[in-house]
């Protein structure tokens, strides 16, 4: 029986409210944003990318990345690194104690990450990748892996890689249907996500280029995937989660961004709030008339109160 878009799904014994997930995005998927998409229907939303090795410093930046509380029902963290013992120590650490799911980043194509042997570079060292998965599983947490289909079209390794993930104990795989050299451009190659799905029994999620209900349904149909994971389009249009999960909502861009402003003010210092809300609002106002003028006014705002006033003008009367 084929999975239905928006339906519930179980990952490693954990029941998710839907099979429409939010990808980890560095600089974007902070605590307020994760709460928002969960409320709109997302089955899970991961933290921003966290360095497994960097956890040992337990600095202010790490604290912000890992900020959560009981309002976040399902807590998921994404770790980046390349050393199995470091992953194990991180997975078992007190800092990650609140998190039920650990996602291992094996898909980031950014040059400095790849040069460090992290992200998508791990797809070319399956022995090390396997040890990292096994190390994270020893924490007793549910473990997922986010990856690509390979380095380039001449070196697509996703079938073998998916089998390795499953045999190493991964509970789920999310496959970004692009190669490393495609970065974030070009049409995802759904046939290779299907190849991964056909190769394993654990849930496989399709990721890449999903910006509408039609695209999500197409991805499910063409790949046979168990669900979809939104990335930048989930950030640009969070209401897409409600649409994909058939969840009635009266939310608007104005109510969403004002709620985010209130939540961020509660959780972070004013500078962090301003950076996040300006970034989120810039995405929200895409295609709105007068965007350039509004964006200039928004970025000149130097306080939360000023930002609140500008947001009311951009998105409607507050």
Under 8 Å CB-to-CB from 72, ≥6 apart: which residues? 31, 34, 35, 38
Under 8 Å CB-to-CB from 309, ≥6 apart: which residues? 301
Tell me the mean pLDDT in the region 122-130.
98
Residue 253 has pLDDT above 60, yes or no: yes
Report the pLDDT value the prediction gives residue 317, as an integer from 0 to 100: 47
Report the pLDDT value the prediction gives residue 11, as an integer from 0 to 100: 98
Tell me the mean pLDDT in the region 158-174.
98
Task: Give 101's pLDDT tier (boundaries 50, 70, 90).
Answer: very high
User: What is the radius of gyration, based on Cα positions, of the chain?
Assistant: 19
Report the pLDDT value the prediction gives residue 135, as an integer from 0 to 100: 98
Task: Give 318's pLDDT tier (boundaries 50, 70, 90).
Answer: very low
Residue 111 has pLDDT above 80, yes or no: yes
Q: For tokens 């050393």, what's the residue?
A: 83
Higher model confidence: residue 313 or residue 179?
179
**DSSP string over 51-111:** ETGGGGG--HHHHHHT---TT-SS-EEEEE-S-HHHHHHHHTSGGGTT-SEEEEEE----H
Return the percentage of the chain with pLDDT > 90, whole number. 90
Taking Cα atoms as reference points, which of 106, 99, 100 lies closest to residue 131? 106
Q: In the CATH scheme, what is the homologous superfamily, with its name and number, of domain 9-244?
A: Aldolase class I (3.20.20.70)
Across the chain, what does the average pLDDT equal? 95
* 48, 29 Cβ separation under 8 angstroms: yes
Report the pLDDT value the prediction gives residue 58, as an integer from 0 to 100: 85
Tell me the mean pLDDT in the region 225-237.
95
Q: What pTM value is reported for the model?
A: 0.95
* 37, 238 Cβ separation under 8 angstroms: yes
What does the alpha-carbon distance between residue 52 and residue 83 come to, in Å, rounded to a whole number? Answer: 9
What does the alpha-carbon distance between residue 215 and residue 208 come to, in Å, rounded to a whole number? Answer: 10
Could you tell me the residue ranges of all domains in the chain? 9-244, 253-315
Task: Give 316's pLDDT tier (boundaries 50, 70, 90).
Answer: confident
* 152, 107 Cβ separation under 8 angstroms: no
Question: Is residue 147 among the annotated active site residues?
Answer: no
The active-site residue, picked from 30, 76, 108, 136, is 108
* 141, 94 Cβ separation under 8 angstroms: no
Query: What spatial distance separates the first Cα and last Cα of the chain, rounded to whole Å?
Result: 46
Q: For tokens 């897409």, what's the residue?
A: 240
């Amino acid at each position: 029986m084929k999975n239905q878009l928006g339906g519930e799904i179980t990952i490693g014994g954990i029941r998710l409210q839907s099979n429409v997930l939010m990808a980890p995005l560095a600089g974007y998927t902070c605590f307020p944003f994760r709460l928002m998409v969960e409320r709109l229907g997302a089955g899970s939303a991961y933290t921003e990318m966290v360095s497994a090795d960097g956890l040992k410093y337990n600095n202010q930046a790490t604290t912000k990345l890992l900020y959560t509380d009981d309002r976040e029902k399902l807590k998921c963290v994404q770790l980046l690194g390349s050393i199995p013992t470091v992953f194990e120590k991180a997975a078992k650490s007190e800092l990650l104690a609140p998190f039920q799911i650990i996602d291992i980043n094996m898909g980031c194509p950014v040059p400095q990450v790849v040069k460090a042997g992290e992200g998508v570079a791990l797809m070319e060292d399956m022995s090390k990748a396997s040890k990292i998965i096994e190390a994270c599983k020893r924490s007793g947490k549910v473990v997922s892996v986010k990856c690509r289909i390979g380095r380039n079209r001449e070196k697509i390794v996703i079938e073998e890689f998916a089998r390795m993930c499953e045999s190493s104990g991964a509970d789920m795989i999310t496959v970004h249907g692009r190669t490393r050299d495609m970065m974030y451009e070009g049409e995802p190659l759904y046939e290779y996500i299907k190849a991964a799905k056909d190769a394993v029994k654990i849930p496989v999620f399709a990721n890449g280029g999903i910006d509408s209900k039609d695209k999500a349904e197409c991805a499910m149909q063409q790949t046979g995937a168990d669900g979809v994971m939104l990335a930048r389009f989930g950030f640009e249009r969070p209401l897409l989660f409600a649409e994909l999960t058939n969840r009635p909502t009266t939310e608007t861009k104005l109510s969403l961004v004002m709620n985010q402003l209130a939540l961020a003010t509660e959780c972070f210092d004013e500078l962090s709030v301003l950076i996040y809300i300006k970034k989120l609002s810039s995405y929200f106002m895409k295609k709105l008339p007068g965007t350039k003028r509004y964006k200039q006014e928004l970025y000149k705002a130097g306080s939360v109160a000023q930002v609140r006033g500008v947001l009311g003008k951009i998105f409607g009367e507050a």
